Amino acid sequence: MEILFDKKDAANASLTVKLTKEDYKSKVDHKIKDYTKKVSIKGFRPGKVPAAVVQKMYGKSLLVEEVSAILAESINTYINENKLRLLGEPLPDNEATGIVVWNNEADYAFVYNLGLVPDFTVDLTAKTGLTAYDIEVNEKSVQETLENLKQQFGEMVDVETSSEGDFINGKLKEVAGTFESTTLLPTSKLAKSELKKFIDLKVGDTVSFDIQKAFDNDAAVIAHFTGASNEVAATMSGHFEFTVETVRHTKLPELNQELFDKVFGKDAVTSVEEFNIKLKETIVDNYKRESKSLLSRELQKALVENTKIDLPSAFLKRWLLTTNEGKISQEQIETEFDYYAKELKWNLIQNQLAEKNNIKVENNEVLDKTKEMMRTQFGGMPLDAQMEEFLNKFADNYLKEEKGKNYLKIYEQIVHDKTMEHLLSNIKLATKKVNVEQFQDLMRQDA
């Protein structure tokens, strides 16, 4: 066997594997002999099928199977021993290989294309000019959060007449058409100009309205209200009638210990004053995380844009098409390749930075991160010993699912967080105070 490596440029190479009959013939002969004992062929006793018969019937497929196994093993060994850093996986070069005529006495030469990780230097000067935002949380933001919490923990009750913010259940009918449905109307989704039509309605009342005016021509809201698809909702117009069956009102909770415990856990705060302080601290912490997340995205974007990495684009497009087995078209690949390339570049940059700065992730960190993620699903509330035990088992099972993909996803997230933490702690940032509204505008621009 002979393996030839030909580096075309910084990111492309080919691998030629040459086989002689001495590399595969004995293994194929052994398989044929083994087949004579197992195969069932009419006219021959079990285990007594002549090798010549097996060779004639199965020889070619056994040859292809054995040569394929030898190729896979030899290519993998060569890549590992020579420490080749690949993008994607080796792809057969059918044009260079030519037509393969299979027989048990031939020599073969198979050519594979490789995509290589090119040498590159991370341009750390791209870190300059970044701004860390210090968000000032005012009383308005605190009160808005409090109102949202009250809505979240409110109790739904039936009322006689509708008011703003209520949910009205009833029957919807198209006046000049055939569309009908029983649906729930959240009055908070109505256009301000049309809201008054739906106030002070009682059970049995019918209101007529223009569906596009009622929802500001928002097809997504119309779809949610009517139950129609987005495509159908986009074409809906004209007058509809809505007949009230029930009116549901959110009874807001009082600012007392019951609400304190629901929001922050049992006895975490015990007075209105403590609650307000804790609420503001929580809002501030949340915005600090959002600000840090925005800064991380800006830093990632700057590093990708300012670091030159010559990717083997043609190879990667072919690899994506091949490995997705018809699930994605060439047109889709062309459309989405720029996004894919940016993500790939960032992964390469991140890996280089992590390696240079000795950033590592231990198994217990992956487990802790998974448990932290799952705790958020419980609202971040403290859990008792029994629930903690359940959480440990649930997290462990989650990490084992999807053939290890879940573990890898959490692992890579921690690498990302640690790399960003290292970068941000070692660069000088401009700081700027902004209010909540200004920061939300920045977030919308980043989306």
**Total domains, the chain:** 3
User: 3-state class of 408 per DSSP?
Assistant: helix
Tens-place pLDDT, residues 400-427: 888 888 999 999 999 999 999 998 888 8
Tens-place pLDDT, residues 61-90: 889 999 999 999 999 999 999 999 999 999
Tens-place pLDDT, residues 36-47: 887 778 777 777
What is the pLDDT at residue 403? Answer: 83
Query: At 197, is the pLDDT very low, low, confident or very high (cuts 50, 70, 90)?
Result: very high
What is the pLDDT at residue 53? Answer: 82
Q: What number is the average pLDDT over the span 154-167?
A: 94
Query: Domain for residue 146, yes or no?
Result: no
Q: With beta carbons less than 8 A apart as the criterion, state whether 165 and 188 touch.
A: yes
Query: At 207, is the pLDDT very low, low, confident or very high (cuts 50, 70, 90)?
Result: very high
Among residues 69, 97, 116, which one ends one of the domains?
116
Structure tokens at 400: 């084992």
Question: H or E stretch including 191?
Answer: none
Query: At 29, is the pLDDT very low, low, confident or very high (cuts 50, 70, 90)?
Result: confident
What length is written for the chain? 447
Domain with residue 80: its CATH number is 3.30.70.1050
> Mean pLDDT of all residues in the chain?
91
User: 3-state class of 181 per DSSP?
Assistant: strand
Tens-place pLDDT, residues 165-190: 999 999 999 999 999 999 999 999 99
pTM of the model: 0.74
Q: What number is the average pLDDT over the span 87-101?
A: 93
Structure tokens at 328: 């994605």
Do 18 and 93 sit in the same domain of this protein?
yes
Q: Which residues contact 49 (CB under 8 A, 6 or more apart)?
A: 35, 36, 39, 41
What is the pLDDT at residue 411? Answer: 94
Do 165 and 227 sit in the same domain of this protein?
yes
Kindly state the DSSP code that residue 256 receives in the 8-state scheme. S
What is the pLDDT at residue 127? Answer: 60
CB neighbourhood size of 57 (10 A) = 14
Asked if pLDDT for residue 56 goes beyond 80, the answer is yes
Strands 108-116 and 86-92, how do they pair?
antiparallel
Query: At 390, is the pLDDT very low, low, confident or very high (cuts 50, 70, 90)?
Result: confident
Query: Domain for residue 416, yes or no?
Result: yes
Boundaries of domain holding 102: 2-116
Do 409 and 297 sit in the same domain of this protein?
yes
Structure tokens at 244: 């009230």
Do 186 and 321 sit in the same domain of this protein?
no
Identify the bridge partners of residue 244 per DSSP, sorted by sequence position. 170
Among residues 198, 222, 251, which one ends one of the domains?
251
User: 3-state class of 114 per DSSP?
Assistant: strand
What is the pLDDT at residue 382? Answer: 57
Q: With beta carbons less than 8 A apart as the criterion, state whether 349 and 420 touch.
A: no
CA distance 348 to 118: 10
What is the pLDDT at residue 101? Answer: 87
Tens-place pLDDT, residues 366-382: 999 998 888 776 655 55
Do 163 and 82 sit in the same domain of this protein?
no
Q: Tell me which amino acid residue 29 is.
A: D
Do 111 and 192 sit in the same domain of this protein?
no
Domain with residue 224: its CATH number is 3.10.50
Asked if pLDDT for residue 128 goes beyond 90, the answer is no
